[in-house]
Structures are given as structure tokens and as C-alpha cells.
Amino acid sequence: MTLVRKAALTVVGLAVVALGAAAAFYLAFVPQPYSADEVAARGEPDVNNGAYLFAMAGCASCHAEKGAKAGDRLKLGGGQSLVTPFGTFRVPNISPDAATGIGRWRLVDIVNAVARGQAPDGSPYYPAFPYASYSRLKLADAVDLAAYLKTLPAVSNQVGAHTLAFPFNLRAALFGWKLLYFNRFSAPSEIAALAQSPSDVIARGRYIVEGPGHCGECHTPRGPLGGPDLARWLAGAAALEGTGRVPDITPEPHALGPWSPDDIATYLETGFTPDGDVVGGAMSEVVANLSQLTEADRRAVAAYLKAIPAIQPAPKPTKP
């Protein structure tokens, strides 16, 4: 055997070992998909709870036509374009249409898409879909939401592919993204370390904000690879679309500090701030969704936001 062939075999062998080690590491540390048996064990889904979670998770804001009202918000044909620094994402059709939507998907397929960021063929989704937050859904809630999606109107709409710059167009690289960020975000422990054991009300608020409400997806800054900076949880971030900025909603004096829990709960219901201003931009969609929650749940969100640690403003860069 020539030295060249030996060297080639050695390189191939090392590559196989490295890939095997990477796969083992991924399987050990990234939350794995739910099985059909786990989903079936939840019993008959509660579609009424699924409808409630649909509003909480804001599914219509992205998957219905932009500006849709009333019953049209239940037509989830997708097609909106999300223009971001990574490229343009096109929101998929998640209606029960068999040809262009998710009509042929099993319940477990929908659950794994929502809570694990995994397509039925095993490929990973881009985190423009906030599955990192949805991964914190209780399995029963994820099943209920999936069952509710199957009851909605079928919409025939073939959505085009994403248009992303290199290297973000390499879907296989998403396995690495999930390894870096998904397991940290989806861990069962709390994201924000509270000063004391939370009451039942604060715990409920934490579940909504950190999970289906996915508030951190917009209000938490991200690194160059799009991973959330959990050390600055809810401390404000550059808008994913456009040039604006999403505000800090921690209890800092210049954020939600002056707002009372009643102020926050009222804002989430009506869109009016304590000084009489009215919600605008993307947040108007959030209010449209959260206004459908119970008063108790809106107050739970307010209680959690007042209980999380204050985040000091990021230091301004010094001039050389």
C-alpha cells in the first residue's frame, strides 16, 4: 500500500470518527424528537386548549396573510417574507392543505416541528421559526396545539424557498446551531434566575413568556449566528426586520420599571400605555394575540416581567 493511499485512508478514518463523535454529542445534548407513542399517550387532544395556545403563540401573525382580520386569521397559507440580516425567509403554509400545506402530516410530525424544530424528513428548521421557545411547551399543550391546527381551513398556496446568503443557506449547518443554542434555550430550568422561588402566578407568567409567548425571540439580543444572548434576557435588541429597535422590557427604570403590573396587563389587553400612547408596529400584532388571553394570564405575564432581574444597559463603545 502506497504512502499516499495510507494517508488518504487515515484522513477518511479520522473524518468518520469525527462525524461519529459529533453525531453522538448531538444526540446526547440536543433534545430529541417526540415519538408517536409519546404523543398518543397524551390521549384525546383538547382542541379548545389548542385554540387558546394558538392565540398565545401568535401563529396567525406570521402564517396568515399580512393584515388579516377575524376569520381570515385562521387561514394559514403562509407566504409572508421576513427580510433579515441573514436573508429573506418565506413563511410556510401550515394549513391542512394536502398538496401545499401540512395536511398529510401526522400529529407527531406537527408536534416535532413546533417543539423540536424538526421537519418530518428529519431536517432542521431555521430558527426564524421560534421553535427554541416553543420547545418549552408542555407536551400536552403541544399536542393540543397540533390538533387544533388540523381543524383550520385548508389553503392552497405553494410558498417559495428562502433566499439566504452563504453560509446561512447551508441547512446542514443548523445542526450545529441547535447544538450551540437549542439545548440551552429548551432546558427545563428557568431562563431568568429569579430572586426567590416564584409564586404560582409568576410561574405561570414564566411559562407563557419563556415558552409559547416567545417574547425573548424579539426582545433578547442575538449574536452573529443568530443565537440568543440569554445573559441579556429581554434587555432589548435590534429588530430582526428593518432598522428599528425592540425595547428593553426588564424592570430597569428606563424600561418597564415605572410600569405597575396593572399597567402591563392593561397594555397587553388594550394596547394603551400608562401615558395614553397606543401600541404600534409589530407589537400591535402581539397585543391582538394576547388580548385573547384570560385576565389571569395577562396578569401572570405582568407579574413575571416585574420579577425578573434588572439588566444594566449595555456599555456604549468607547472612542479610541
Nearest of 196, 247, 200, 199 to residue 221 by alpha carbon: 247
| CA distance from start to end of the chain | 60
Spatial separation of the C-alpha atoms in residues 75 and 78, rounded to whole Å: 8
**Dihedral Cα 287, 90, 174, 178, nearest 10 deg:** 10
User: Residue 246 forms beta bridges with which residues?
Assistant: 237
Helix/strand/coil for 301: helix
Look-up of cell digits 416567545: 214
For 90-133, how does the pLDDT look when each residue is reduced to its tens digit (9 = 90+)? Answer: 999 999 999 999 999 999 999 999 999 999 999 999 999 999 99
Domain positions in the chain are 32-175+182-186, 200-307
- Stated pTM of the model: 0.86
Residue 226 in contact with residue 143, Cβ under 8 Å?
Answer: no
For 119-178, how does the pLDDT look when each residue is reduced to its tens digit (9 = 90+)? Answer: 999 999 999 999 999 999 999 999 999 999 999 999 999 999 999 888 888 888 888 888
